[in-house]
Amino acid sequence: MAEILKVAVGAEDDGGLLSDRIRNALTDEIASGALVAGSALEEQQLADRFGASRTPVREALRQLVVSGLVEVRGRRGVVVARMTPERIMDMFETSAEVEAMCVRLATFRMTPLERSHLIELHESSLAMVEANDVDAYDAFNRTFHECIYSATHNSFMAEQAQDVRARLSAFRRTQLRQGDRIRKSRDEHDAIMQAIAEGDGDTGSRRMRAHMLNAAAALRRYIDDRFGRDGPPSIGDGPLPHE
Amino acid sequence: MAEILKVAVGAEDDGGLLSDRIRNALTDEIASGALVAGSALEEQQLADRFGASRTPVREALRQLVVSGLVEVRGRRGVVVARMTPERIMDMFETSAEVEAMCVRLATFRMTPLERSHLIELHESSLAMVEANDVDAYDAFNRTFHECIYSATHNSFMAEQAQDVRARLSAFRRTQLRQGDRIRKSRDEHDAIMQAIAEGDGDTGSRRMRAHMLNAAAALRRYIDDRFGRDGPPSIGDGPLPHE
DNA sequence: ATTCCCTCCTGTGTATGCGAATATCCCTCG
DNA sequence: CGAGGGATATTCGCATACACAGGAGGGAAT
């Protein structure tokens, strides 16, 4: 009967360790942009916020360092990872290559059930584009890519792909309504689905890479527009175009 | 005067944080196989071994959890990651794809200097094969692949590739002298270098994938030979063929 | 003899305390 | 008026202390 409390508090909050809950909370806040890049994370302050002591906070921060979401500054505490435009482009490119890799394997290995599920999912996105429902499209997009990861039937690769994707989510989150990127995104998804349906993994792979690189190119344009050719050495709060 | 003790312990031990040193030490021991998969890691015991308290040991272990090198067993402590044969094959396949990806980009982007360096490096490996010097070849092999990562001119991708490679090193380390795998490895390197020299990134990529998958296939054969078709649910101490 | 339960004990999870390193601020000197 | 240096204060890194969970072992009952 006490399980009702668990549901009431939140999704999966009290099940695990305190340090895990703090880590997950911080991950969400960084990915969502609530914690902007470069902002300092003081241990005592976080401990007060979460009603815990510094020990689990420290553990959570150390784990985030390994994940690459925060950086240590000597003995001056940790800050939300402050990435250079070059590094962001590197991450986008890596993400593009990883996604392309997954599409290729997924095309060759997905079961008919998985394929039909993916097709159905893709078709459902048309209504979101028509309604210009960016939130719904964002959620769909995440599921779409995760289905492809899963269809590789390689759980390790799926985890790696999801990790890279998670690290970029902070940049993808905001400013979805940038130009007509969503409609183009859907068109590109359509071309990818075409190749998958034909069982042409290499074509699907190339199209997925182009799909992701289109977002990166739009990002580059956006950065140049906003900061000029030689902008600030680091950014982290800028909205990015949707893939 | 007490600093003499610190210097006596190791080379670059006193620079960073204590938890980092412990983490690095444990990483090496896991990768080298000194700590076999499945063995429990008790905090107090490790603290005694490193002459520290449990706090930095705990932080090191939590970081290793994120890295995927160890697993938590509820409140019963952590153990060295115990991987199933399926997961190991997944990791090998992912590694193959990642390496292929890197070769492709590196071929298109490497500078003439990098190319000549890589060629020189590759040629130096011939003597090691002739002498059947597995240790030297192992060291060369690591450098060879890292040079390719670096030549992608994408630091994030290089880090990802190195991370995957590090996770597999525990399996690559032992049993290099398995059949004539080293000579075949060198031949495959040669074919890859040929494609790189011709600027044919796609061919180099395919050859690198095949190169890595050959090692995975040999691994599969080795596992089947040793444990039979339905072997134990997990392995971690078995020597693997060299890529 | 086997099984169930109780107790103890080992080990993790968290809190707190202390020393050290560094940033900050103010005072003094040029 | 600006710059440099020192004292203070804040915060990190590590150690120690305490609370609780889960298992091992023994004893008793069937």
Do residue A157 and residue A206 come from a single domain?
A: yes
**Does any domain span residue B116?**
yes
Here the CATH number for the domain that contains residue B27 is: 1.10.10.10
What is the spatial distance, in angstroms and rounded to an integer, between the CA atom of A52 and the C1' atom of C11?
22
Are A70 and A64 within 8 A, CB to CB?
yes
Instruction: Tell me the residues of chain A between 124 and 183 that have a Cβ less than 8 Å away from chain B.
Output: 154-157, 160, 164
Total domains in chain B come to: 2
Is the pLDDT assigned to residue B148 strictly greater than 60?
A: yes
Do residue B108 and residue B205 come from a single domain?
A: yes
Residue A71, SS3 per DSSP: strand
**Does any domain span residue A241?**
no
Instruction: Give the model confidence (pLDDT) of B161-208 as tens digits.
Output: 999 998 887 777 554 556 778 888 999 999 999 999 999 999 999 999
Do residue A185 and residue A68 come from a single domain?
A: no
Do residue A214 and residue A124 come from a single domain?
A: yes
pLDDT at B174: 53
Q: Which nucleotide is nearest to A61 (CA to C1')?
A: D12
Do residue B75 and residue B159 come from a single domain?
A: no
**Does any domain span residue B145?**
yes
A53 CB contact with strand D at below 7 Å: no
Would the CB atoms of B59 and A58 count as touching at under 8 Å? yes
d(C-alpha B22, C-alpha B16), whole Å? 10
Are B38 and B79 within 8 A, CB to CB?
yes
The pTM (predicted TM-score) of the whole model is: 0.81
Do residue B12 and residue B73 come from a single domain?
A: yes
**Does any domain span residue B242?**
no
Interface check B101 vs A, CB under 8 A:
yes
Do residue B60 and residue B95 come from a single domain?
A: no
**Does any domain span residue B66?**
yes
Give the list of residues 6+ apart from residue B148 with CB closer than 8 angstroms, or none.
B99, B102, B103, B106, B118
CB atoms within 10 A of CB B184: 18
Weakest mean pLDDT among A195-199, A217-221, B57-61, B125-129: A217-221
Do residue B133 and residue B189 come from a single domain?
A: yes
Do residue B120 and residue B186 come from a single domain?
A: yes
What is the spatial distance, in angstroms and rounded to an integer, between the CA atom of B44 and the C1' atom of C6?
28
Do residue B157 and residue B43 come from a single domain?
A: no
Can you tell me which residue has the tokens 């909205």?
A: A239
| Token pair belonging to B146 | 């890292």
Do residue A100 and residue A65 come from a single domain?
A: no
Give the list of residues 6+ apart from residue B57 with CB closer than 8 angstroms, or none.
B19, B22, B43, B46, B47, B50
Instruction: Give the model confidence (pLDDT) of A140-184 as tens digits.
Output: 999 999 999 999 999 999 999 999 998 887 677 554 556 778 888
Here the CATH number for the domain that contains residue B98 is: 1.20.120.530
What is the spatial distance, in angstroms and rounded to an integer, between the CA atom of B123 and the C1' atom of C17?
60
Q: Which domain holds residue A202?
A: 85-227
Do residue A111 and residue A180 come from a single domain?
A: yes
**Does any domain span residue B204?**
yes
